Structure 1
Amino acid sequence: MTLKDLNPMPEAVNVIAHPTLADVAAISGVSIKTASRVMNGSTQVSGDTADRVKKAANLVGYRSNRIARELRVGSLSNLVGMVISDLSNPFYAGLAAGAEERLAEEGLDLILATARDDGERERNLIESLLERRVRGLIIVPSGEDYSHLHQERKRGFSFVFADRVAPYLDADSVTVDNRGGITVCLDYLLSQNCKKIAVIADNISIWTASERVEAFKQAILSRRVDTKNTHIVTNIHTSEEAAQATMALLKANPDIDGIIATNDVIALGVGQTISAISPQVKVVSFDLFATANLLGIKTLNHDPRRIGRVSAELLIRRFENPFETNYTSEVLKIELNDATLPQKGAGKSD
């Protein structure tokens, strides 16, 4: 088959399931070396020949193997891997969007993988991304052992931890002020004259959840809130679980008048339940999320896109000096979101 054979039958491009450079060379009537030069952008091939090779490549759907080319010439990859917890969670989607935006400014592409808070799965994903020769990694850590990354770092590989810190490994990281943020949440509820306050949190094996629960314990002591007037509910991972936990909490403690939700997923379940059965209860969420105002929930200005951008920025800096042993720990300050809350129970005006 030659290019001349294909011209009258463009549908024939489907004949070759996985076209190779050898197929392109054969169809265009040139050597593999000449076809390779054209596909790699060489100017040492005549215009007519180059056009013929490119046309053949387009007809059969051939694409250059960028990774193989980078290996041959010794150039750096433009791919950055990112391992997050769960892409269906708007928080992590926002974090990824922020990182992708900053990386794109440097001509870098992002590959996403989701670990689902499973340490073993996370390690397998990291190994898979390393095999794909990504230039660096941004990781929302789920595991407990990152010694394998220490070995990669000795070889000049760059990585940054985002949203959480990794245990037993000093590294560049971007987190928010979890303790300060929870104190702001508590102060808001106290300013609303709440007397019986609960916090609902994720599994405390997750670093952020543990930090926020401990922060709540310290904050109620520093604000001299009687611990008898507080409740802590943990191991809540989904909005459905949060809704059920809120129902059970209010049934057992009907005098609760303030709730802190430690993330957006929990806040959604809490808010939906409160709106339906106890609209007088004040709710504040550690995370921003799209329907907070509709549910009458106050939030912090905890923007995941900002974490993503700063994480990408740290990684870009690390590329410049991968063997530097002074690591940067960015802790982003957060405050109450200034958005005005609607009146709970207020009807739509005509």
Structure 2
Amino acid sequence: MQIGPVKLPNPVIAAPMAGVTDRAFRIIAREQGCGLAVTEMVSDLALIYANPRTYRMLDFRGETSPLSVQIFGSNPETMGRAAAIVVERGADIVDINMGCPTPKIVKNGEGSALMRDPALAGKIVEAVVQAVPGVPVTVKMRKGWDEQSVNAVALARTVEAAGASAVTVHGRTRNQFYSGKADWDIIRQVKEALRIPVIGNGDIWAPRDAARMLEETGCDGIMVGRAAMGNPWIFRDIVHFLQTGEELPPPTPEERIGIAIRHLELMVESKGEQVAVFEMRKHAAWYTKGIRGAARIRETINKSQSKKEIEDILKSLLA
């Protein structure tokens, strides 16, 4: 798969997820075979004002190219400036968020609120494309704001005309958030309407889902979100299935605990022990889901104060 001049090793992409897809997650996802991992969304204004926490989110040490950074905002001029900053810091692709449904983002006219203003959305894409010549600009959107305003096809045409190199379509409306079933037919409609690559997103929980989405929609790539939380092996499994038609055995408890500990180590390296220990709690719950005794130790993990404590608790599941 190719996005502008950037070639991906395969069409399996890790979705941007706030509070999840940090450097540690991205490194592990790439090690497990995904062709591209997108950062958590970063604010255009926070970038312009050099917010220290936001700049820490652009820590790409140890990551392999290509790198995609997702930015959000609602002002063409500041979005262009933000794009230039992330490219200067190493981004190979700039992704524009037009799909985030959370109220605090939407109330500022950002995220999926942009689907209600296609003209502004087009101006933002134009400004970003002009600010980063030669760097592909992509857009992540939803089916529409609600079922009465399904406009993914029209918006996709607008951003393509404005210079976008690819679009990702999540087959849910903003009002659905993450509930209900993703509409894959809207992904097919967008694919049929555009010349640029289209990436499908929504309800890919297993390798067969990925294969079915590619077949049913004709999309060029697939994006995996929530199914990868605590399960980075899904990228390896999807890539293998698409190449061979074979399903790989699930990871053993030993593999799961091993990667969980590696995830923690990478987080400590990036963020320091105190922040990493706090943020690892949710990841530990995801990694250990279904392992015998895991429910019992989750409360203990949530009270942990050190890296060693979490490591010891995780290892105890294998005893």
TM-score, normalised via structure 1 length? 0.26
Higher RCO, 1 vs 2 (CA within 8 Å, ≥6 residues apart): 1
Normalising by structure 2, we get a TM-score of 0.28
Find the structure with the greater CA-based Rg: 1
